[in-house]
Amino acid sequence: ETGVTQTPRHLVMGMTNKKSLKCEQHLGHNAMYWYKQSAKKPLELMFVYNFKEQTENNSVPSRFSPECPNSSHLFLHLHTLQPEDSALYLCASSPGQGSGYTFGSGTRLTVV
Amino acid sequence: AQSVTQLDSHVSVSEGTPVLLRCNYSSSYSPSLFWYVQHPNKGLQLLLKYTSAATLVKGINGFEAEFKKSETSFHLTKPSAHMSDAAEYFCVVSVSSNTGKLIFGQGTTLQVKP
């Protein structure tokens, strides 16, 4: 365990479904991140939250909707996804500038 | 602007031989640099980090990296590869901001042959 917990570990969903990914950390970190990792592509930063406020949205389609109710929890709500959205979704947290990230184990998402 | 380039997409070594994974960075200020490892179907694990202290940084599992400002490099090395070292390795540079945002390299796949 890294201190960042992601659930579920695996998710298969149809294109018309609505599902949510959950990320939780109790490391006292102030920043939380969502990354998408597709096969043969570099990690793509999706969203950044700092002290519960969204500070970055990297032109992510609106079918991905993040939510950060407090500094310990981060969600990614999914609806009407496309097959190309199938990927490993990684959550990370950090104490701030110059510090590394602590990653969760990821959610392997398959859209059918 | 900050950026990072991993010079090899794939490195293959024999077990017991040295490992060298190359990384060059670009930064307009003194950066923080990291190496992460990702085993198949796992999240990323921090191997080591450089934050303007000693230029030779020791990490977990026998890995180390040397920060060379004159060459803008931060290569990862290990004297003797083990089968369990087979994984994807990412070189990472920090962005100067309050969010602690990191920029990841494209990754290098390390194959270890028996």
Task: Please tell me what DSSP assigns to residue A53.
Answer: E
Of the partner residues B41, B44, B49, the one whose CB lies closest to the CB of residue A103:
B44
Count CA atoms closer than 13 A to B18's CA, side-chain side.
Answer: 7
The predicted structure's pLDDT at residue B16 = 97
Give the pLDDT mean for B46-67. 91
Size of interface A-B (CB pairs under 8 A): 65
Q: Is the CB of residue A69 less than 8 Å away from at least one CB of chain B? A: no
- pLDDT on residue A98: 64
Chain B hits for A98, Cβ within 8 Å = 32, 51, 94, 100
Which of residues B58 and B3 earns the better pLDDT score?
A: B58
The residue whose two tokens read 């990702």 is B38
A86-96, pLDDT tens digit by residue? 999 999 999 87
Alpha-carbon distance B67 to B55, whole Å? Answer: 5
Rounded CA separation B18/B25 (Å): 23
Residue with more model confidence, B61 or B103: B61
Q: Tens digits of per-residue pLDDT, B79-104?
A: 999 999 999 999 998 876 555 678 89
Chain segment A3-40, per-residue pLDDT in tens:
999 999 999 999 989 999 999 998 999 899 999 999 87
- Residue B53 burial (C-beta neighbours within 10 Å; 0-12, 13-18, 19+): exposed
Question: What pLDDT was estimated at residue B30?
Answer: 76
Q: How far apart are CA B90 and CA B5, in angstroms?
A: 10
Interface test with B, best of A11, A41, A43 (most B CBs within 10 A): A43
